[in-house]
Amino acid sequence: MSDIGNSNRITREYIDSLLIETRYMDSANPDPAFTLYGETFSSPIMTAALSHLKPRLGEDAPLALANGAKAADTVLWYGMAEEDEIESLSKTGVRMIEIIKPYADRDLIFKKLETAEKLHHLAAGIDIDHPFAEDGSPDDIEGFKMAPLSTAELAEFCKSTKLPLIIKGVLSLRDAERCLAAGAKGLVLSHHNNRIEYAIPPLAVLPEIAELVSGEIPLFVDCEIKTGMDAFKALALGAAGVCIGRPLMGAIRENGADGVRDYLLKANNELKKAMAYTGCYNLKKMDPTVIRRL
Ligand SMILES: Cc1cc2nc3c(=O)[nH]c(=O)nc-3n(C[C@H](O)[C@H](O)[C@H](O)COP(=O)(O)O)c2cc1C
């Protein structure tokens, strides 16, 4: 398979081109405690919204992800799934953010938002970057047709739920402005694992979108976030939190829920190191000027 234009590679290269300026003077013990929508967690490093784990990794994989996130005291983001799967994850007691597909059947989105509310999720969201298939026609996932969202529809979804509604798949100031205007309560900057080639690395657009939202709503980043150092770069540049996807699939394969927990805890320790070494010793002290482009 050709690697030309591969957005994961381009994103990885971009993250690696960002260097960290050390600032030891007046630094202190790092504390990555993370408050999101009124609840506090031990880390801003969360799971990415994964799906279809059972055919890939076995029947227990979704629960391993949930239990691993819970053991690491962080948030479980989860993707497309039937109601019984979502319910079983919710029963673990993990705090959960469910990302709902941009179903062409809009009633299905309203219904899923209602269920998310009943299950007391921390938040819900929609991945706006999955309406189209590889040839640009409407996508069809397991018999469900997808369709792009309009700003007006998004405003309706936001109004319909008491949960904070997050939009996943934003990579432009233009989309960020429209989501903000529609009442979104969070944005995930993401190209969704190379959905389009030559996507702008999320960290490259993060500063301008952070300036736009100026702390009004939290920004999240995924794609190629693998270590605590990667997470730190995103946080310093204005993200409230980050999500890790494919590396946690490897962790499930190796050691189930314990593998997920250990991966997340290790990344959190790496994050603490970067925080201590830069004087950004809590999440309020994050400072974009510690990041320099190679
Ligand atoms: C197997 C798999 C399933 C995914 N399912 C969803 C999904 O249902 N909804 C969604 O918004 N993103 C989904 N994603 C995208 C991830 O949430 C994430 O954006 C992407 O994997 C980039 O993060 P990573 O580089 O850490 O893997 C999926 C990714 C993978 C690998």
Tens of pLDDT along 73-102? Answer: 999 999 999 999 999 999 999 999 999 999
Has 192 been annotated as catalytic?
yes
pLDDT value, residue 1: 61
Tens of pLDDT along 112-146? Answer: 999 999 999 999 999 999 999 999 999 999 999 99
65 touches 75 (CB < 8 A): no
Question: Is the Cβ atom of 245 under 6 angstroms away from ligand 1?
Answer: yes
Confidence of residue 171 (pLDDT cuts 50, 70, 90): very high
Does the pLDDT value for residue 294 go beyond 90? no
**CA 101 to ligand 1: nearest atom:** 9
- Tell me phi and psi for residue 152, to 5 degrees: -65, -40
What's the whole-number mean pLDDT along residues 22-42? 98
Range 7-293 has CATH code 3.30.530.20: no
What's the whole-number mean pLDDT along residues 150-179? 98
Question: Is the Cβ atom of 266 under 6 angstroms away from ligand 1?
Answer: no
Q: How far is residue 137's CA from residue 147's CA, in Å, rounded to a whole number?
A: 9
Tens of pLDDT along 268-283? Answer: 999 999 999 999 999 9
Confidence of residue 257 (pLDDT cuts 50, 70, 90): very high
Does the pLDDT value for residue 152 go beyond 80? yes
pLDDT value, residue 2: 79
Q: How far is residue 116's CA from residue 107's CA, in Å, rounded to a whole number?
A: 14
- Tell me phi and psi for residue 131, to 5 degrees: -85, -20
**Averaged pLDDT score across all residues of the chain:** 98
The residue whose CA has the least distance to atom 15 of ligand 1 is: 192
**CA 244 to ligand 1: nearest atom:** 26
**Percent above pLDDT 70 for the chain:** 100
Of residues 2 and 36, the one with the higher pLDDT is 36
Tens of pLDDT along 191-211? Answer: 999 999 999 999 999 999 999
pTM, two decimals, is 0.98
Q: Measured in angstroms, how far is the CA atom of residue 252 from the centroid of ligand 1? A: 15
What's the whole-number mean pLDDT along residues 222-237? 98
Question: Is the Cβ atom of 171 under 6 angstroms away from ligand 1?
Answer: no
Q: How far is residue 294's CA from residue 17's CA, in Å, rounded to a whole number?
A: 5
pLDDT value, residue 5: 97
Q: Measured in angstroms, how far is the CA atom of residue 114 from the centroid of ligand 1? A: 23
Confidence of residue 14 (pLDDT cuts 50, 70, 90): very high
Burial 9-43 (b: 16+ CB within 10 A, else e): ebbbebbeebebeebeeebeebebebebbeeebeb
Question: Is the Cβ atom of 49 under 6 angstroms away from ligand 1?
Answer: yes
pLDDT value, residue 139: 97
Long-range contacts from 137-141, C-beta under 8 angstroms, 24+ separation: 138/104, 141/80, 141/101
Domains in the chain: boundaries: 7-293
Between helices 228-236 and 202-213, what is the axis angle to 10°? 40
pLDDT value, residue 290: 98
- In Å, how far from its chain's centre is CA 88? 21
